[in-house]
Structure 1
């Protein structure tokens, strides 16, 4: 084996170093599920006397945790598939979207999910407006707005890049 091939083999094999990160993220997913179940468990005895606003706030909190868990799962599966190796899940178990998300698509999905999570949290803050300072609400609005603009800019950039790439292959 030539030195160049040896270096390439080491670099290519180095992709496995990210595996502990994905495994740790599974632990994080377990923590999110735990929080979801505990929030639901603590709310069950209160459901008889809960106000509509409190029920909506609880629902938004659970949706927020669910979206965050989905985001973690997306990063684990798409990251593993894109950077480590193609998973062999079997035809029935393999999510349809899995082979279709490249790094650019993963960035867009991440920004979109973060924006939605921020928007859900902002909605929850508006429902609890009496417990929020104007400054905190303003910052939440600014952050959600910035993430929305960033997601839009990434989408436009990817569209332009894909269009230019397609045009090059047509010529």
Structure 2
């Protein structure tokens, strides 16, 4: 019976590799995001003289938004893979990010919600800068919902941070 249990546990442990294709998919999504980034950057560069101040700012905010999302994906890929699949053996590499190997699941949740709040804030700023182009009836609803959703993200982020802090203080950080 112990042999069956041991075999089952080995198979169960090996099943973590089912997650690897998810991380490959996230890596591919960064390339898709890179394509969108290049397209937006090309538009800004080729229409530089034609764009007004608000259109330029909106284009730059779109680039910042995509960069934040790409950074978030890298954090999720690295820390998720290390937390759930296997350690990444690049400890001697000179370009190894300092946070690698130190971002646990709890920290990942806080970083994730922080990035979502930043992305949501940028979207809210973009909406604010385009208010004059929206019909007044739609404007109020759109802004109200975006503010409500952004506020929900902010409150969730604060609650995640408080829970993480309390868990760390109690010494029960697993």
TM-score by length of 1: 0.92
Q: Does 1:150 align with 2:152?
A: no
Q: Does 1:114 align with 2:120?
A: no
Q: Offset at 1:45?
A: 1.8
Which of 80, 100, 103 is the aligned partner of 1:101?
103
Q: Does 1:28 align with 2:34?
A: no
Farther-moved stretch of structure 1 (47-56 vs 121-130): 47-56
| 1:50-69 pair list within 5 angstroms | 50-69=51-70
1:40 maps to what in 2?
41
Given that 2:121 and 2:150 are in contact with CA atoms closer than 8 Å, whether structure 1 keeps it comes out as yes
Deviation readout 1:24-83 (Å, 9 max, x if unpaired): 111111000000001111221211132111111111011011111111111111111111
Structure with greater helix percent: 1
Q: Which runs of 5+ in 2 are unaligned?
A: none
User: How many residues are treated as equivalent by the alignment?
Assistant: 166
| Whole-angstrom distance in 1 between the partners of 2:30 and 2:123 | 19
2:85 maps to what in 1?
84
RMSD (CA atoms): 1.3
2:4 maps to what in 1?
3
Farther-moved stretch of structure 1 (117-126 vs 48-57): 48-57
Farther-moved stretch of structure 1 (152-161 vs 47-56): 47-56
| Structure 1 residue ranges (4+ consecutive) displaced by more than 3 angstroms after TM superposition | none
| Whole-angstrom distance in 2 between the partners of 1:122 and 1:65 | 15
Q: Which runs of 5+ in 1 are unaligned?
A: 167-171
| Whole-angstrom distance in 1 between the partners of 2:120 and 2:77 | 21
Farther-moved stretch of structure 1 (78-87 vs 2-11): 2-11
